[in-house]
Structures are given as structure tokens and as C-alpha cells.
Structure 1
Amino acid sequence: MEPAASHHYWRFKPHILMVLCQLGYTFLYFITEASFKNGMNPHVYVTYRHIVAGFVMFPFAYFLERDKRPKMTLVIFLEIFLLSFLGVTLTLNMYFTSLRCTSPTLVASMVNTIACLTFIIAVILRLEVVDLQNPRGIAKVVGTLVSLAGVMTMTLYKGPIMPSLGHSAIHFTQTTVIQENWLKGSVLTVASCLTWSIWYIMQAYTLKRYPAQLSLTTWMSFLGGAQSAVFTSMIEHKGVAWRIGFDIDLWSTIYGGIVVSGLIVYMQLWCTKEKGPVFVTMFNPLSTLLVAVLAYFVVDEKLYTGSIVGGTVVISGLYMLLWGKEGDKEEQVSTIEHQYITHEVDQEDPKK
């Protein structure tokens, strides 16, 4: 790879990885919805998925991070335990239950609030710097507000239904009756978005003390799976719920474990360490648009003009915020250069 091409690759590597993450999330919505309609218990799914992720990621974490993995202390273990409880046991159990009660399009739309919530929390905790006298600082705030307006549009305004293209390419066979409870699903979605935002923020702090992304992914998978197993056993007393056949339930568990809880979580941790939690969450709207489009073309789900308008507004806000975020790197480089020049001048002039 030529030096110029290599420079551009490393500069945009976090962007590329986050786009790949959103592609992975897009397929997750549909494969889990099919599994839930086939009778898979969402809480059992979360448990099995993270157990799979833990066993898959363990050898990579053990061998590749043997020399750079920090020593595990009680404080770090308790912090990872809390991180697992927040991001896996609490967030995902609410999230997938809401998906079972509503639809992929609604859930994917509500997930966009994570970016706005994460940005606000990050500013409060001073993980994000907002300089309102700088155009890029203004772009961060305006981009966040524009994205939030787009999310509200997609959620509250439906508008005319887009004409159907006919028969769907894929039909989900529903073997159990799923009672759609949109109020319950909406409340759980909002609650999961709030805890999800806090989870992203907490990752930034944990990575400073435990900067081994593969090992952290493995720990969260095992601990989250164990916590979810305890939680599920408390509310699900039927042994048949834990049985899994050689069907969509198995494939959704394998996909969710390897691709999402394993590979995608690792990539997000890497991007969080490099660019911060706000950068990671701002790519969620891409998944929303992909889910809406695929749901319309593939499974013949209704597509409203409000989703199109709101999605366009959300993407506009996304790019405004990303443009503002690019100024952080330039400002950091400028500060380092200024410190270096000042140090050189002080070295040349010992009287200073």
C-alpha cells in the first residue's frame, strides 16, 4: 500500500469499521425478528448469544493480548462486571423484548436517540469539548439537535404510506402468537437507549484502565451471559424455553454471538478508544435507513414518508457532527505541535 493511500486508510479506518458495524446490525434486526416469531425467548437468546461470543473471542484474546493485557484486579473486575450488567443484562434484555413487541423499523429509529443522549452525557462529563466560538463546535451542537429532530420526525410523524411493490421476497413463518404491545415496547426501547448511552460512556473510562479490547470483549461476553442466565432463570421457569433446534434460532444465536457480540463489540471498543463514544453512536442512523429500505423491499413492511424525511434529516445532522468531530483531531495535533515548539524554545533559552 502506497504511503498516501496508507495515510488515508488509517485516517478513515474508524469510519470504515463503524459502517461495517451498522451493516452487521442491519441484518441482526431481521434475523432476530424471524427467530422471535419462530418462538425464541429473547432472554434466552441474549444468554446463548453471549456465551457463544465468549468462547469464540477467548482464544484470540488469550494469545493476541498476552503481553499487553493489564493485570486483573478486584476493582477492574467489578467495573467490568458492572459494565456487563449495564450493556448486556439490562440493555439488551429490554432491547430485544421491545423488538418482539414492536417492529425492526421502530426499534432501529429509536436507537438513533443514543447518539444525542451520549453526546449530552459526554459534554456533562467533559469527555467532549464544545467551543461555541468555533464553527466546528457549533456544528457539533447543531448536528446533534438536527439528528434528534430527525429521530422525532421518524417516530412521531408517519405521513402517507409508500406504494407496496407487491409480494415480499421473504416470508417469516410465525409458529407462536406474538402479542404486539406497542406501548410496552416503546417504553422498553427508550429505557434501553438510555442505558445503552451510559454503557458507551462507561466504556471510555474502562478502556483507560483496561486497554485490551479483545480481552474486554471476552470478559463482557462471559459475565453478561452468566448474568443474563440468572435473570432468565428467575422469570422463565419452563425448561422448553431453553431448547434450541437446528433452525433460525440456532443461526440467529451464532450470528449474534460471533458477528455482533464478538466482532462488532470489539470494533466499537477500538473506535471508542480512538475517537470517543460519541463518534461510535453517531453512525446508528445508517442502520436505520438500511433497515427501513430492506424491510420495504424484502419483507414488504410498510414504509412511511415520515421515515424517509426523518432519515434524511438524521443523516444531515450526522455529517454535521462528524465534521465538527474532525476538528478535535486537528486541534489535538495543533496543541501537541505548540507544546513541542514551546519546549524547544525553552531548551534553547535556559534563562526562561
Structure 2
Amino acid sequence: MEQKRCSFVTKCRDFKPHLLMVLVQFGYSFLYLITNASFDHGMNPFVYVTYRHILAAVLMFPFAYFLERNARPKLTFSLFMEIFVLSLLGVSLTINMHFASLKYTNPTFIVAMLNTIPTLTFVIAVAFRFELLDLRNSRGIAKVLGTLISLAGALIIALYKGNLMRNLWRPLIHIPGKSAAINESWLKGSLLTVLSCVTWSIWYIMQAATLKRYPAQLSLVTWMSFVGAAQSAVFTVIVEHNRSAWTIGLNIDLWSTIYGVKY
């Protein structure tokens, strides 16, 4: 019995990364549902992104300051400009486009298109020679086949319109006015989603290069959250002239913002 228990614990440890990845995907799915409900409630997507990253910067700052006090390299002007571009690609530009597209599409489409990010990252990395592709061995062929299958699966889930399925129980979150049918805003939302996935992929590649020069991960995340929030705030002030849009209460707007900090 003890041997079986040890074997089960060992298998759980081996599959721990995979289980965590599945849990993260569940978390992302709920994120888009609660965020979409918040937008329908009246929350401005750009205000949401700004508040979300301000809160993330505040929460991350003490951990980054104390845990990486000795490991954090000196922040030069060129490195700060690199972080500025990273914040633009990974926070203000990408996330704003991403959540703005949620107003024109639906959570199912957004989550499905997220699966194209690894594919786009791989293609861009190969195109700019950040990663070498050797089609003469089985590993290189497997990468290409995996990329094509992943892209095809994401596009089928996102674009295929089959028969309607009736809910067996009442939904936990009600999102009115959303239809799976393609309407005049669907193309706009789709373009925003695709563009956000492309910039997100570029951000992943640039982030890997930046971490070699600035190997303090917590500090880098804190800087990107702070700078990205500032960029998003400037953009929001330009496009949103209604001051009441910045006011949120103890409702789904606040809870979606707090929940979004985790991601």
C-alpha cells in the first residue's frame, strides 16, 4: 500500500506542470466571462486595463523590491526604453486591443484565438532567426506539424458555426446581447484579436531577450505593469472624455479588475 501511494505521489509530481497549465486555462476562461459581463455592465475596457495594471504594480512592488534587492541589475536608459517598448507590446497596446475586441466578439472566440499565440510566436521566431528550424530531423518536422494542427484547431473552433446547443441549467453569469452570429462588428473585433495575438507573440520573443540583460523577473513584471498602466492611462484620457467612466463601485467591475490581476 505504501509503495502504491509513493508511486501515485511521484506520478502527480511528474504531471504537476501539465495540471497547472490546465488550471491556468480554466482561469483564463473564467477571466473572459467575468470581464465580458463587466463590460456589458458599463465598464470601459481601457479603464479596466489601466486599473488592472496599476493594482498589479502595487501588489508586485514589495516582492520585487525585497526579494530581488541584490539580484536586480542597474537600470540604464537603454534598458528602460526596452522595458517601455515591452510595456507597449505586452500591456498597453496588446491588452487594450485584446479586451476592446471582446466588445465586438465573444469569450469563446477570444479564448480560441489565444491558442494561436504559441503558433505565431514560433513562426515569428523562425522568420527572424531567433529559433532554427531543421526539417531534416523528426523534431523539426514535429514542430511544423504541431504548429499547423494547433492553428487549424484554433481557427475551426473560432470560425465554425454549427447547430445551437441548449443550456441544461441556468448560466452563472448572464451576458445579454451577445450572439454567435457574425454581425457588422465581428470583423472589427476579429482584426483586433488577431493584431493583439501578433503583438503578444512579439512581446514573448522580446521578453526572452530582455531577461538576459535584466534577469530580475519580479522587477521586470513590476516595471512593465507600472509603465503599461501609465501608457494605458494616457491613451484612455485621450479617447475617453467622460470622467464617470473612471468610477467603479462594489460590483462586478471591481471583482473583474481584482481577478484580472492574477493574469
Q: Which amino acid aligns with 1:202?
A: M
Q: Under a length normalisation based on structure 1, what TM-score does the superposition of the two structures give?
A: 0.67
Q: Relative to structure 1, is the Cα distance of residues 156 and 171 closer, same or farther in structure 2, using a 3 angstrom cutoff?
A: closer
Is the 8 Å Cα contact of residues 37 and 173 (structure 2) preserved in structure 1?
no
Query: For this pair of structures, how many residues does the alignment match?
Result: 252
Q: CA distance change for structure 1 residues 18 and 208 in 2, over 3 Å: closer, same or farther?
A: farther
The residue identity in structure 1 corresponding to 2:160 is: Y
More helix by share: 1
How far does the alpha carbon of each residue in 1:37-75 deviate from its partner, in whole angstroms, 9 at most, with x for none?
110000000000000000001111111111111111111
The aligned counterpart of 2:38 is: 35
Matches within 5 A, 1:148-227: 148-162=151-165, 164-172=166-174, 181-227=185-231
Residue of structure 2 equivalent to 1:21: 24
State the Cα distance separating 1:89 from its structure 2 match.
Answer: 1.0
Inter-partner Cα distance in structure 1 for 2:175 and 2:167: 20
Q: Distance in 1 between matches of 2:18 and 2:203?
A: 21
Question: Which secondary structure does the structure 1 equivalent of 2:36 belong to?
Answer: helix
Distance, in Å, in 1 between the alignment partners of 2:121 and 2:31 is: 22
Structure 1 pair 171/215, CA: closer, same or farther in 2 (3 Å)?
closer
Q: Does 2:93 align with 1:87?
A: no
Query: Looking at CA atoms only, which structure, 1 or 2, has the larger radius of gyration?
Result: 1
In structure 2, what is the Cα distance between the partners aligned to 1:242 and 1:207? 34
State yes or no: 1:247 paired with 2:251: yes
Q: Distance in 1 between matches of 2:187 and 2:137?
A: 42
Q: Which runs of 5+ in 2 are unaligned?
A: 1-5, 178-182
Deviation, 1:125, is 2.9
| Alpha-carbon distance in structure 2 between the residues aligned to 1:238 and 1:124 | 43
Change (3 A) 1:61 1:115: same
- Does residue 1:232 correspond to 2:236, yes or no? yes
Residue 68 of structure 1 aligns to a residue whose secondary structure is coil
Secondary structure of the residue aligned to 2:103 is helix
RMSD: 2.4
- CA drift at 1:147: 1.1
Identity %: 63
The residue number in structure 2 matching 1:328 is none
Paired residue type of 2:237: S
How far, CA to CA, are the matches of 2:21 and 2:117 in structure 1?
A: 15
Q: Is residue 131 of structure 1 aligned with residue 145 of structure 2? A: no
Return 5+ residue gaps in structure 1 as ranges.
261-352
2: CA distance between counterparts of 1:151 and 1:246? 36
Provide the residue aligned with 2:53 in structure 1: 50
